[in-house]
Amino acid sequence: MESKVPSRAPAEKITSTLASYIAAANGTALPPAVVEKTKHHILDTLAACVSGAQLAAGVRAIAYVEAAGGPARATVIGAKLRASPIDAAFANGMMAHADETDDSHAPSLTHPGCAIVPAALAAAEHFGRDGTAFIRAVSAGYDVGCRVAAALGAGKLHEQHRSSHALGGVFGAAAAAGALAGFDAKRCAWLLSYAAQQAAGLTSWRRDRDHIEKAFVFAGMPARNGMATAIMVANGFTAVEDTLDGLPGLFAAYPAASAPGRAVEQLGERHDVMHATIKRWCVGSPIQAALDSTLALCTGAAWGPDDVDRIEVEIDSHGARVVDGRAMLDVSLQHQVALMLADRGLTFASSHDEHRLADPVVAGLREKVKLVPRDDMIDTDPPRQAKVTIWLRDGTRLFHHTRAVRGTPADPMTATEVTEKALGLLRPVIGEKAQQLVKAVFALEHVARVTEFGKLLQPDESLFV
């Protein structure tokens, strides 16, 4: 059966079109709105890295880098440590997705920032680039990585047990690193070929209870592979120039779901960072709308936890499978909704506090939360909506339907909101440097060397854990 998805470009031009786009990225000015939104995602991802350095995946990544040794050329975020560019990209990627804090891109089913920003940071330091080049490379990474994942079938990939997050991540990371390396179009084609050879990742991450293998699949592996690809090409590695289109080739390997034209659709006109989401809450994406609705219902309400009889949460059935009663706190919808009702708000600390599992108020509310998977909510526009109904003991029925999730393209967070979230993640680790880092990100055009900027991402000795 022929795919209904339009393929608007001849397949044989996909590699060369993307390669030319990457090669031109450093010299192409971005619209002001794209620059601003890219800064938001850079700040959000760096804050996730700093916070994630204290979590299991980040701690293990730092231990790996210390054990691996090597030249101290690039920043390892949240640690008094430098490493090789490849190892730094790997470790920082692990930190960026050590938790459910980082951004996402619904159309491609990817978390682009956690792979792209760490690779771009390492590449900017390695190749001696400035803040403007860093911004442009990150934006190009979103454009390439998200498009390739969407063109490969995104959701269909998951039905084949392949991770769209890893596949999109490696192309986004490679594109960002290649743009910062200053490659011409021919070498960018080679870059894409090596990215394709390293495209991997299985959805078995769903069984990961510790968020360590998941961090590797979503971010550590693609960031590392993207950075390694750039260094290989920079040091004379040649490659096939049509790997995305040739037979055999990348898209030929995914014939059931592929729509190759999507990889170059509106390239240079539609900037995918503008269609990416910054999470308001540091929990799994399918929970975001439910928390927005729950907060709307309980803010300023005269009733309290003891007045609640039962709670019903309706979300799409795909998302429900990910967040239904999970042991991992920040991916358990029932626990996070209960916390929101108990506290009338949610912080990074509260959403990750294992002691709250035994809190009698939270435990009592958690038992009252019923998750209702809905097939008819899978393809909503905007996506990932939620309907929350709360019944009180006196018979009162309260209802709220979140259509546009806060932080999504349909309802984006303001610069102030992005900053407040970032500071909450940064201050416990880097202290007073947090405010300096925020200012530096919003003034990246004036950063002459990203290496100097990297120093703000490491803690003072007094804060180092």
Q: What is the pLDDT of residue 159?
A: 83
Angle at 278 between CA 273 and CA 281, to 5 degrees: 170
| Domain ranges across the chain | 11-275, 285-402
DSSP string of 8-33? -S-GGGHHHHHHHHHHHHTT-PPPHH
Over residues 244-259, mean pLDDT: 83
pLDDT, tens digit (0-9, with 9 covering 90-100), for 183-215: 999 999 999 999 999 999 999 998 888 999 999
Q: What is the pLDDT of residue 264?
A: 96
Query: Where residue 463 falls among pLDDT bands split at 50, 70, 90?
Result: very low
pLDDT higher than threshold 70 for residue 167: yes
The CATH class given to the 285-402 domain equals: alpha beta
Tokens 């010299």 belong to 27
Cα 216 to Cα 206, 210, 378, distances in angstroms: 12, 11, 27
Average pLDDT value over all residues in the chain: 93
Q: What is the pLDDT of residue 256?
A: 66
Q: What is the pLDDT of residue 462?
A: 39
Q: What are phi and psi of 221, to 5 degrees?
A: -65, -55
Distance CA 280, CA 364 (A): 25
Q: What is the pLDDT of residue 59?
A: 97
Q: What is the pLDDT of residue 461?
A: 52
**Diameter of the chain by CA atoms?**
74
Query: Where residue 155 falls among pLDDT bands split at 50, 70, 90?
Result: confident
Q: What is the pLDDT of residue 9?
A: 44
Q: In which element (H, E) is residue 148 found?
A: helix 131-151
Q: What is the pLDDT of residue 126?
A: 97
Distance between start and end Cα atoms, the chain? 56
Cα 152 to Cα 131, 259, 300, 357, 465, distances in angstroms: 32, 6, 46, 40, 41
pLDDT higher than threshold 70 for residue 3: no
Decide: 93 and 224 in contact? Cβ < 8 Å: yes
Angle at 66 between CA 60 and CA 70, to 5 degrees: 135
Percent of the chain whose predicted confidence (pLDDT) is above 90: 84
Decide: 138 and 38 in contact? Cβ < 8 Å: yes
Provide the CB-side half-sphere exposure for 164 (13 A, CA). 25
Q: What is the pLDDT of residue 459?
A: 84
Q: Tell the CATH topology of 11-275.
A: 2-methylcitrate dehydratase PrpD (1.10.4100)
pLDDT, tens digit (0-9, with 9 covering 90-100), for 43-102: 999 999 999 999 999 999 999 999 998 889 999 999 989 999 999 999 999 999 999 999
Q: What is the pLDDT of residue 5?
A: 34
Residues near 416 by beta carbon (within 8 Å), at least 6 away in sequence? none
pLDDT, tens digit (0-9, with 9 covering 90-100), for 109-136: 999 999 999 999 999 999 999 999 999 9
Q: What is the pLDDT of residue 447?
A: 95
Over residues 288-311, mean pLDDT: 97
Cα 366 to Cα 250, 283, 290, 329, 375, distances in angstroms: 45, 16, 14, 12, 24
pLDDT higher than threshold 80 for residue 7: no
Q: What residues are paired with 82 via a beta bridge?
A: 75
Lowest model confidence (mean pLDDT) among 74-83, 251-260, 400-409, 410-419: 251-260
Q: What is the pLDDT of residue 156?
A: 84
Distance CA 61, CA 58 (A): 5
Q: What is the pLDDT of residue 1?
A: 33
Record the pTM: 0.92
Q: What is the pLDDT of residue 258?
A: 76
Q: What is the pLDDT of residue 12?
A: 61
Over residues 375-387, mean pLDDT: 93
Query: Where residue 8 falls among pLDDT bands split at 50, 70, 90?
Result: very low
Over residues 275-294, mean pLDDT: 96
Distance CA 167, CA 149 (A): 6
Check if 11-275 and 285-402 are the same fold: no
